[in-house]
Structure 1
Amino acid sequence: METVRARSIVRVGAMLCGVLFVSGVASGHVEYVGEGERGDPVAFLAEALSDPVVIGALAAGGIGVVAVIVLYLRVRPFSRDIAVFRRVMVDYSDLVPWLLRLGFGLPLIGAGFAGYFFAPAVSPTLVGSVPSRLFQIALGFLLLFGLATRAAALTGLVVYVFALLARPDLLFSLEWIPGFVAIALVGSGRPSADHTLQRVAAADGTFYGEIDPVHRAAHWLADRLEPYRRYLPTIVRIGMGVAFAFLGLAEKLLAPTLALGVVQQYGLADVTPIPPELWVLGAGLTECALGVALLVGFFTRASALTALFVFTLTLFALPNDPVLAHIGLFSLASTLLITGAGPYALDNRIGATGPPDSDPYSASVTAD
């Protein structure tokens, strides 16, 4: 009986991967590579759902997802492998600050040199091209080297939020908010300039420790933020979930003409005998489903792995989609692989997360 169940899981999983491949290739930032009208979503949906092929494929994908989830919760296969994987991820917890600094420092430097403001579709018109470019390059290098890390992250957060009020199209790069907040919570980690300078300043009899007040301010800020550090997975998960769901809705389901233009531009419908409408619906619904799963903390590590798979497919399928624009999302997804769901997640209710062990980000999670 166990063998039959395991084979069923493999078959359903294979079907799901096929549907995911179709939708994943068409995913990505349509605003970065497409041009034209957004279109009428109601008319698009009515026309698309009149095609039996589209309805059948979407129904098969939905049933496949539900079947995989139900079978997994009943059978719990590969429990030993999953437990070992979680322990390995816990061992990487000390690398989370470094991972986040790279994931958001490099795109800032790239944005500064390329001449856009946080997102490739947004030009630096608020304060002028040169000041905004210099600001992003300086902020990116501070994060990259880990110098005044928390202050740099909070500065970037404030600038992005104020810029968002004037430029709503920055919503298409919403991952900057959880990214900056996460870096402010975890700090610079090691290796970093902050860690090196703080060690020198804390040593007895050092000249630098006598003249530099910065490390005292850094300790003060770290002490104020430390109680909220345990919410890092929750903030990353919710921020990434909102970003995913927004992209699925705003760039695909509510902008069908623009999305169909991208499908035609890259000849995606010519690769397989799949209607262009299915590419758009598959991508939009997949991103929305992933967003909701991350938002509520449902199979968080599996959802993060799926997100990484979708990102990778996008980079190969849409060569004009700027790679740097996705690095922040890559780092957030990788962070969730390490930390798990964190507090206030559905995973903690259904037993889809392991014991906290020594994980500094999920300690006392089971109490929530």
Structure 2
Amino acid sequence: MSARSRSVAVAAFALFATLAARPAAAHVDYVTEDSGDPLDAVAFTVEVLSEPFNATLFAGSGLLGVAGLAVYLWIRPTIVDVVVLREKLAGYGDLVPWMLRLAVGLPLVGAGFQGYLFAPTLAFDPGASPFLRVLFIGLGFFVLFGLATRIAATVGLLTFAWVLLAVDPAVVLAMEYVPVLVALVILGGGRPSADDMLLAVASTPESYYGRIDPVHHLKSFLDASTAPLRRYVPTVLRVGMGVTFVYLGLIEKLADPGRALLVVEKYDLTSVVPVDPGLWVVGAGMTEIAVGLALIAGFFTRGAAALSFVLFTTTLFGLPDDPVLAHVALFGMASAVFTLGSGPLSFDHWFGRPALDDSESVIPAD
């Protein structure tokens, strides 16, 4: 391929990334208490896009993004930097359980100390509910240390289901916990973790600990039983993150424009990008939906994950009172998806470049 063709492809893809990286307000409910004026979502979107300038800017951005992708897919350049990056990331697969443990362990501890049920909007009184406080702090520390990881992750999933079904369905705001905990049930603690260290000690002949530890053989059995599912962990994580993005864009912004407009006004976002406030809401919502659908389909997965990381970072720096702990799980999930790539059942797997080898999946436990 000629240097000119390569330059055109890279420039087109960079343009798409720049357009798609328009700042988004993430969890609107976390930074607003007022619900804003009730607005009809469809009528609001139609009104915003009926303005000639808004329609031109919105359609132009979309067409440029699609054109950039089309050029890239047509030329399909081999960029040495990307190849080297893929080879390096393939060696980080065994660290993914550790990334995921940090991603949910820290916010679970924070939820217990601050007194909320997964989402900061679902507060409880720690003094009046000491069991919930101990439960969340305990789950967080067990996951962080990687001690009885699969058991702790299963308890976390059951707790999330209890909050969803019996306490408040609004816990779906924190749905990012679910794919991460499911991944930990499949992967276990990985390494470094207390599970890994204790298994090594307990499995050593003549070990004193091995005589009293009744469960280390269970871990070996679970590692073997879940081994066939490990290749689907990238799919679980990218689809989970994609669904989260679609929810944020569709439900929190496009379907609730009154509250989203309050965020634009509160942080004076029109001074950052001088466009109509309504276009801010529609643009942010459509961007998040587009990124979410790309992740669900496994389309340019690592690029979408990197873009997600940019969106989370600009949100945290741009919204000073946004609760940082509430987004740690999303950061961890984006990091894991960037590391692992699309996995099976994805556009990239079927039509993209072939996997380097089996090491692009999560490395099996020893």
CA shift for structure 1 position 116: 1.0
Secondary structure at the aligned position of 1:118 is classed as coil
Q: What is the CA–CA distance in structure 2 between the aligned matches of 1:195 and 1:330, rounded to whole Å?
A: 25
Q: What is the CA–CA distance in structure 2 between the aligned matches of 1:251 and 1:169, rounded to whole Å?
A: 12
After superposing the two structures, state which structure 1 stretch, 209-218 or 296-305, moved more: 209-218
Letter in 2 for 1:216: H
Per the alignment, residue 145 of structure 1 pairs with 145
Q: What is the CA–CA distance in structure 2 between the aligned matches of 1:269 and 1:311, rounded to whole Å?
A: 19
Per the alignment, residue 51 of structure 1 pairs with 51
Per the alignment, residue 226 of structure 1 pairs with 227
Letter in 1 for 2:284: A
Q: What is the CA–CA distance in structure 1 between the aligned matches of 2:360 and 2:274, rounded to whole Å?
A: 47
The answer for unaligned runs of 5 or more in structure 2 is: none
1:118 maps to 2:93: no
Letter in 1 for 2:350: R
**How many residue pairs are counted as aligned between the two chains?**
361
Letter in 1 for 2:24: A
Per the alignment, residue 185 of structure 1 pairs with 186
Secondary structure at the aligned position of 1:194 is classed as helix
CA contact (8 A) 2:126 2:133 kept: no
CA shift for structure 1 position 2: 3.9
- Taking a change above 3 Å as real, the CA distance of residues 53 and 205 of structure 1, as seen in their structure-2 partners, is same
CA deviations over 1:89-145 (Å, ceiling 9, x no partner): 001111111101001100101111111110111123899632212111110000111
Residue correspondence of structure 1 range 34-113 to structure 2 within 5 A = 34=32, 35-37=34-36, 39-113=39-113
Per the alignment, residue 366 of structure 1 pairs with none
Q: What is the CA–CA distance in structure 2 between the aligned matches of 1:172 and 1:318, rounded to whole Å?
A: 18
**TM-score, normalised by the number of residues in structure 1:** 0.92
Q: What is the CA–CA distance in structure 2 between the aligned matches of 1:212 and 1:56, rounded to whole Å?
A: 67
Cα root mean square deviation, aligned:
2.1
Per the alignment, residue 239 of structure 2 pairs with 238
Letter in 2 for 1:30: V
Per the alignment, residue 27 of structure 2 pairs with 29
Letter in 2 for 1:139: L
The answer for unaligned runs of 5 or more in structure 1 is: 364-368
CA deviations over 1:5-26 (Å, ceiling 9, x no partner): 44544554454344334x3x23
Q: What is the CA–CA distance in structure 1 between the aligned matches of 2:84 and 2:194, rounded to whole Å?
A: 33
CA shift for structure 1 position 232: 0.4
Identity of paired residues, percent? 45
Q: What is the CA–CA distance in structure 1 between the aligned matches of 2:134 and 2:286, rounded to whole Å?
A: 38
Q: What is the CA–CA distance in structure 2 between the aligned matches of 1:362 and 1:302, rounded to whole Å?
A: 22
Q: What is the CA–CA distance in structure 1 between the aligned matches of 2:293 and 2:132, rounded to whole Å?
A: 34
Q: What is the CA–CA distance in structure 2 between the aligned matches of 1:352 and 1:313, rounded to whole Å?
A: 30
- Taking a change above 3 Å as real, the CA distance of residues 83 and 7 of structure 1, as seen in their structure-2 partners, is closer
CA deviations over 1:131-173 (Å, ceiling 9, x no partner): 2121111100001111001110011011102211231111111
Q: What is the CA–CA distance in structure 2 between the aligned matches of 1:73 and 1:115, rounded to whole Å?
A: 48
Q: What is the CA–CA distance in structure 2 between the aligned matches of 1:344 and 1:255, rounded to whole Å?
A: 33
- Taking a change above 3 Å as real, the CA distance of residues 112 and 126 of structure 1, as seen in their structure-2 partners, is closer
CA contact (8 A) 1:86 1:354 kept: no
Q: What is the CA–CA distance in structure 1 between the aligned matches of 2:55 and 2:140, rounded to whole Å?
A: 46
Q: What is the CA–CA distance in structure 1 between the aligned matches of 2:163 and 2:237, rounded to whole Å?
A: 21
CA shift for structure 1 position 221: 2.7
Secondary structure at the aligned position of 1:358 is classed as helix
After superposing the two structures, state which structure 1 stretch, 148-157 or 120-129, moved more: 120-129
Q: What is the CA–CA distance in structure 2 between the aligned matches of 1:7 and 1:119, rounded to whole Å?
A: 44
CA contact (8 A) 1:341 1:353 kept: no
CA shift for structure 1 position 190: 1.3
1:307 maps to 2:313: no
Per the alignment, residue 247 of structure 1 pairs with 248
Q: What is the CA–CA distance in structure 1 between the aligned matches of 2:50 and 2:331, rounded to whole Å?
A: 36
CA contact (8 A) 1:164 1:171 kept: yes
Secondary structure at the aligned position of 2:178 is classed as helix
CA deviations over 1:340-359 (Å, ceiling 9, x no partner): 11111111222245332533
